[in-house]
């Protein structure tokens, strides 16, 4: 089974479980590698109520080291961070990149302006929104994140569909320009299985996006976005089949921010 690089810790205030339990779940799932990538701090603090604070970073580093000690060579435990792409964040991301010997950084778009659009707390805003405009804003923002070159993995590409709001027509009009930007930046994307358990009932991204990404030569990782140990490697078997059906034959592997490939 491939690596699971997108997982969380209680420091983000909405996950649970100790690193030892996550490592055991990864080993039980037969993963080749396991990565921790909790939500990075953002400034000014407190930024929101679903990420670690800057003062928590030393605790986060210790959780990573605890996971490695517990694994004791049974699998590789990689160090990552999920960083939000926010207006003017470039200097902060570069600062975070120097705080630890990371294996990878994940870039995510959870905010459009001040709206964390995937937060159930603000679900009512979707009913009042112009969905075409929201999708246009989202994909423009995602392309800007990809073009920054700051991240190794670009998370859940079509997260904007989480609550099953999507404009009409052929959605590849949104996908094609972003795929071109990602390919030009030389970054990997993730196939995130959490979407199967959200209102959209579909992995992130859609098969149409995956096919375009594969044709453009964009590397892929499969991720669970686990917030509990029980979610580690969740739905990796159907995700692997989906990836294969879209043309993928391998997954990306990261160490010290260097990417290699491993066949499925």
Radius of gyration of the chain (CA): 17
Alpha carbons within 13 angstroms on the beta-carbon side of residue 249 total 1
pLDDT at 1: 80
pLDDT tens digits for range 184-205: 999 999 999 999 999 999 999 9
Indicate whether 106 belongs to any domain.
yes
Indicate whether 2 belongs to any domain.
no
Structural domain count, the chain: 1
pLDDT at 151: 98
CA–CA distance, 61 with 56 (Å, rounded to integer): 9
Indicate whether 1 belongs to any domain.
no
Q: What whole-number percentage of the chain has pLDDT above 90?
A: 99
Identify the domain containing residue 77 by its residue range.
Answer: 10-263
Dihedral of alpha carbons 226, 195, 48, 254, sign:
positive
CA–CA distance, 94 with 102 (Å, rounded to integer): 12
pLDDT at 121: 95
pLDDT at 54: 98
CATH number of the domain to which 37 belongs: 3.20.20.140
* pLDDT band of 2, cuts 50, 70, 90: confident
Indicate whether 5 belongs to any domain.
no
Listing DSSP states for 141-168 in one string gives HHHHHHHH---SEE--TTGGGTTS---S
Q: For residue 41, what is the DSSP state?
A: P
Residues 221 and 2 sit within 8 Å (Cβ to Cβ):
yes
Indicate whether 208 belongs to any domain.
yes
Q: What whole-number percentage of the chain has pLDDT above 70?
A: 100
């Amino acid at each position: 089974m491939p690596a699971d690089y997108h997982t969380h810790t209680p420091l983000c205030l909405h996950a649970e479980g100790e690193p030892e339990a996550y490592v055991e779940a990864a080993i039980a799932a037969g993963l080749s590698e396991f990565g921790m990538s909790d939500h990075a701090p953002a400034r000014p603090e407190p930024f929101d109520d679903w990420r670690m604070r800057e003062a928590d970073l030393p605790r986060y580093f210790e959780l990573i080291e605890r996971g490695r000690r517990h694994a004791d060579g049974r699998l590789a435990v990689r160090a990552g961070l999920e960083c939000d792409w926010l207006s003017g964040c470039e200097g902060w991301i570069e600062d975070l990149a120097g705080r630890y010997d990371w294996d990878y950084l994940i870039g995510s778009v959870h905010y459009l302006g001040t709206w964390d659009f995937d937060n159930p707390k603000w679900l009512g805003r979707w009913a009042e929104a112009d969905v075409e405009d929201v999708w246009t804003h989202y994909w423009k923002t995602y392309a800007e994140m990809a073009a920054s070159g700051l991240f190794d993995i670009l998370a859940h590409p079509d997260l904007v569909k989480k609550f099953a709001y999507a404009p009409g027509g052929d959605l590849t009009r949104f996908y094609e320009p972003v795929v071109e930007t990602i390919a030009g930046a030389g970054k990997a994307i993730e196939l995130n299985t959490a979407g199967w358990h959200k209102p959209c009932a579909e992995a992130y991204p859609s098969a149409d996006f995956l096919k375009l990404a594969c044709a453009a030569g964009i590397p892929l990782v499969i991720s669970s976005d686990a917030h509990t140990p029980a979610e580690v490697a969740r739905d990796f078997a159907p995700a692997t089949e989906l990836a294969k059906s879209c043309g993928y034959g391998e997954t990306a592997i990261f160490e010290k921010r260097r990417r290699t490939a491993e066949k499925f």
